[in-house]
């Protein structure tokens, strides 16, 4: 069924020129091909370096036995990468660990299931931070913002509109650690994804690219926030107190998260020390009961409800999404052949149909309405992107 979601634009999807080494297409922001058809991202690629396991042991030892009841808190989402961090920290590094999830209300059934099963198998205590009022407001705001976006679609505001994840999530985790005297919070990179999963294209159309860990320079941040604030204020449907409040607190945290963090809580990014390798991660988490979803062969992003829609929109507008970028990095790292990457990305990048349909229903938008908006916008957008390149 999910292949049908985009079958009407198959010609467009397959007409795009791609790099001869990776999978990036001509619509990727800032891309240029040389005479051999190799893109600048491949030519300028610097392999991912990690600090190593010895360094990780040393770093963890500083916190061993320091906390009240726990040495560290591992933030988990039910996804593959945070589950692996938890499994390693508990089973391999023997830290006294509390697992914690901030439930923004957008975690999928698979995500909740995996959180329950894997923490039980590991014998780790787990807590949810969940605020029903906040979840209700988030859904309502999301609906308003998405409706407004459909009236005036922009490739630059997809993420701020739809990535409804609570921007204060990290601060809530730090606060919990502080209140429970847990000295260390562990996440992927910088309490987030691993380096492979940073999406450079999402702000790239504005000419702003993060570093390989997903961090922006101050100048980059200012440019983004100025742009988003202007876009936000231009739209009068956004003039509702709960939306303004959520926008303002998100912006504040975006700039000042490190200043707002309690000083007695440290953070550690697991994938800054340990090289991300799919062939090690999947067997390790499967062994503690983690499972994929039935309606996709992808193991990435199955814990988050918003991604099927975000991925669908990018695919329909520019003919690629984060899966193309992710697999391109795996090719450059030598983890996978181009042929296999292409085969996998073509099926895995298609949005999960069940979650996609559920979301559209919740947001009160039909697929026809969405497609019409996106198809009209794509014509204008592609002219702009390709003209810029010439």
Binding site for Zn ion (CB under 5 A): 19, 21-22, 39, 42
Closest approach of Zn ion to the CB of residue 142, in Å = 34
Q: How far is the CB of 373 from Zn ion (least distance, A)?
A: 31
Pick 46 or 151: Cβ nearer Zn ion: 46
| 275 three-state secondary structure | coil
Closest distance to Zn ion from the beta carbon of 23 (Å): 8
Cβ closer to Zn ion: 226 or 337? Answer: 337
Closest separation in Å from C-beta 117 to Zn ion: 38
**DSSP line for 307-337:** HHHHHHHHHHHHS--HHHHHHHHHHHTTSS-
Name the residue nearer to Zn ion (CB basis): 42 or 129: 42
Q: Which residues pair with 184 in a beta bridge?
A: 72, 266
Nearer to Zn ion, 197 or 303 (CB): 197
Spell out the long-range contacts of 58-64 with Cβ–Cβ below 8 A and sequence spacing 24 or more. Answer: 59/268, 59/273, 60/89, 60/93, 60/95, 60/184, 60/268, 63/95, 63/183, 63/184, 63/266, 64/95
| DSSP-assigned letter for residue 93 | T
Angle at 361 between CA 154 and CA 301, to 5 degrees: 65
Among 105, 87, 107, 108, which Cα is nearest to 97's? 87
Least Å distance, CB 346 to Zn ion, is: 17
Write down the least CB distance from residue 328 to Zn ion, Å: 6
Contacts of 305 (CB under 8 A, 6+ apart): 106, 107, 108, 355, 358, 359
Alpha-helix residue ranges (DSSP H) falling in the chain: 10-15, 40-43, 53-61, 80-87, 109-122, 132-151, 158-162, 169-179, 201-204, 218-234, 241-260, 278-286, 307-318, 322-332, 338-348, 353-363, 367-389
Provide the token pair at 18.
């791609």
Residue closer to Zn ion, measured from CB, 39 or 89: 39
Q: DSSP 3-state assignment of 100?
A: strand
Alpha carbons 346 and 299: distance in angstroms, whole number:
14
Please answer whether residues 138 and 305 qualify as being in contact, where contact means their C-beta atoms are separated by less than 8 angstroms.
no
Closest distance to Zn ion from the beta carbon of 172 (Å)? 38
What does each C-alpha distance from 383 to 29, 36, 180 come to in angstroms?
Answer: 13, 25, 54
Q: Considering beta carbons, is residue 212 or 371 the nearer one to Zn ion?
A: 212
Select 5 or 39, whichever has its Cβ closest to Zn ion.
39
Q: From the CB of 313, what's the least distance to Zn ion, in Å?
A: 23
Task: Give CA–CA dist 260/276, Å, rounded.
Answer: 29
CB of 167 to Zn ion, least distance (A): 32
The nearer residue to Zn ion, 126 or 329, going by C-beta atoms, is: 329
Q: How far apart are CA 17 and CA 375, in angstroms?
A: 20
Q: Which is nearer to Zn ion, 42 or 252 (CB)?
A: 42
């Amino acid at each position: 069924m999910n292949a049908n979601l985009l079958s009407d634009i198959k010609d467009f999807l397959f007409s795009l020129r791609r790099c001869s080494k990776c999978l990036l297409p001509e619509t990727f922001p800032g891309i240029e091909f040389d005479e051999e058809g190799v893109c600048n991202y491949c030519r300028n690629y610097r392999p991912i370096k990690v600090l190593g396991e010895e360094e990780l042991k040393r770093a963890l030892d500083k916190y061993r036995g320091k906390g009240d009841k726990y040495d560290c808190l591992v933030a988990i989402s039910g996804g593959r990468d945070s589950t692996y961090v938890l499994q390693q920290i508990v089973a391999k590094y023997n830290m006294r660990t509390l697992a914690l999830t901030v439930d923004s209300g957008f975690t999928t059934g698979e995500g909740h299931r995996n959180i329950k099963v894997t923490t039980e198998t590991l014998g780790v205590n787990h807590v949810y931070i969940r605020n029903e009022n906040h979840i209700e407001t988030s859904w309502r705001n999301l609906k308003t913002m998405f409706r407004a976006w459909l009236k005036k679609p922009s490739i630059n505001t997809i993420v701020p509109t739809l990535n409804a994840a609570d921007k204060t999530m990290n601060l809530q985790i730090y606060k919990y650690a502080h209140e429970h005297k847990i000295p260390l919070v562990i996440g992927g990179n910088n309490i987030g994804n691993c380096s492979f999963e940073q999406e450079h294209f999402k702000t790239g159309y504005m000419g702003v690219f993060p570093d390989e860990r997903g961090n922006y320079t101050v100048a980059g941040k200012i440019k983004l926030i100025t742009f988003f604030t202007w876009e936000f204020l231009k739209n009068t449907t956004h003039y509702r107190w709960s939306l303004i409040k959520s926008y303002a607190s998100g912006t504040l945290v975006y700039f000042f998260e490190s200043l707002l963090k309690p000083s007695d809580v440290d953070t550690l990014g697991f994938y800054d020390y340990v090289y991300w390798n799919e062939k090690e991660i999947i067997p390790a988490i499967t062994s503690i009961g983690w499972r994929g979803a039935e309606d996709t062969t992808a193991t990435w992003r199955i814990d988050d409800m918003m991604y099927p829609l975000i991925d669908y929109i990018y695919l329909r507008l520019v003919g690629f999404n984060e899966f193309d970028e992710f697999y391109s990095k795996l090719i450059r790292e030598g983890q996978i052949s181009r042929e296999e990457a292409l085969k996998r990305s073509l099926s895995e990048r298609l949005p999960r149909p069940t979650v996609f349909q559920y979301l559209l229903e919740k947001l009160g938008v039909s697929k026809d309405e969405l497609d019409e908006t996106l198809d009209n916008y794509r014509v204008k957008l592609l002219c702009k992107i390709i003209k810029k390149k010439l």
